[in-house]
Amino acid sequence: MKKIVLGILAIGLLIFGCKSSSSKEKSKSVNITFQSKSGSNVNGTASFIEKDGEVTFTANFTGLKPGEHAIHIHEKSDCSAADATSTGGHWNPTFKKHGRWTDYEHHKGDMDNFYANADGNATVLFKTNEWCVGCGDETRDILGKAVIVHEKADDYVTQPTGNAGARLACSAIIK
């Protein structure tokens, strides 16, 4: 009987140990607020949440023209210019051509186009394991960059911008 009781205790401790180590894993996140740019009325909020090696970007926008729009991560967290050109170009630390996220060649800052409804409201949801929040890896870390919402859809062909038009809203990605 003693051997069976000890075996059950050992299994119980092992299971408890596994539970406790996985419950210590925490997500990293950063919340951002967009500023209208280029004379637009576009506003919004967003969050980047990293958990289990994947970053989820969720954003909500108002004040857009109905239809398709581009959204990109740009290289500098500087939204000071009236037209948001102070953010520089698309974030491209791996020196790839601009393209769709699903293409081999794409900037780390390229994301899929999104649609604004008839009221000018939109929600964006994007997930990737190619980004991190505050990990310090220059080819993956989104901190210190900016998110730009564009006037038009990205054509995924024109280099290096996608011909997406004016920069309507900007937010620095900083904690």
Distances (CA, A) of 133 to 13, 27, 76: 34, 9, 15
Whole-model pTM: value is 0.84
Query: What CATH fold (topology level) applies to the domain 28-173?
Result: Immunoglobulin-like (2.60.40)
pLDDT tens readout for residues 73-88: 999 999 999 999 999 9
pLDDT tens readout for residues 93-117: 999 999 888 888 899 999 999 999 9
Residues 13-23 have a mean pLDDT of: 38
Q: How many CA atoms lie within 13 A of 43 on its CB side?
A: 1
Distance of alpha carbon 49 from its chain centroid, rounded?
Answer: 8
